[in-house]
Copies of this chain bind each other. A is one copy, B any other.
Amino acid sequence: MRRMYLEMFHQMNKQLGQVDAWLAATVTFAEAKKVDPNVFLAFRLAVDQFGFARQIQIACDTAKLGASRLTGKDAPSHTDTEATIAELQARVASVRSYLGDFTAADFADTATRVISQPRWEGKTMTGADYFMEHVVPNFFFHLSHVYAILRHYGVPLGKRDYLGALTQKLPA
């Protein structure tokens, strides 16, 4: 089980690497259109949904705080003040570096940890439930919204940019 936790956080790390590439594609796209790439930070799909920058911040925090709460290892703090694509890329890089440092042993007691968050008003979840019902669905939710906002505003991305390289064997 501890291996599966580690592998899922490795997968999140990989997906954040894709976000970094999407951000680079966004800069290229905006420059070709002769607009400031940073206009993307405020874009959103619905007036009462979080915008692009916030979606990236929450995707980062879901992975970072998830790993921290499930292992007890302190996470780097970020202040949600990113105002440019470059600053968002720096945040992604910081979280990727943090996620890259875990080993399977760090998740030894993850399943039975008691997890809470301020907004839960004293309610708790087991580590196993928090991981499966909260961390994984939330991470991919915000990741997909980042992608969807870029696609909606014309940045040329495809499913391969979403998934990244697959570990495949060539035919024998």
Chain A positions 1-50 with a Cβ under 8 Å from a chain B Cβ: 1, 3-4, 7-8, 11, 14-15, 45-46, 49
Given A144-B148, A145-B144, A134:B166 Cβ within 8 A = yes
B11 touching A133, Cβ below 8 Å: yes
B141 touching A171, Cβ below 8 Å: no
Mark each residue of chain A from 113 to 146: 1 if its CB lies under 8 Å from any CB of chain B, else 0: 0000000111111101100111011101101110
Q: Which residues from B are CB-within-8-Å of A137? A: 11, 15, 140, 162-163
Number of copies: 2
Task: Identify A151's interface contact among B49, B164, B169, CB under 8 A.
Answer: B49
Q: Is A168 an interface residue (CB 8 A)?
A: yes
Q: Is A154 an interface residue (CB 8 A)?
A: yes
Write the chain B residue with the least CB distance to A3: B1
B138 touching A144, Cβ below 8 Å: no
B1 touching A171, Cβ below 8 Å: no
Chain A positions 152-171 with a Cβ under 8 Å from a chain B Cβ: 152, 154, 159, 162-164, 166-171
Beyond the given A11-B136, A45-B45, A133-B164, could you list 6 further A-B residue pairs with CB under 8 A, ordered by the A residue number?
Answer: A8-B136, A11-B132, A120-B168, A121-B171, A125-B167, A133-B163
Residues of A within 8 A of B (CB): 1, 3-4, 7-8, 11, 14-15, 45-46, 49, 120-126, 128-129, 132-134, 136-138, 140-141, 143-145, 147-148, 151-152, 154, 159, 162-164, 166-171
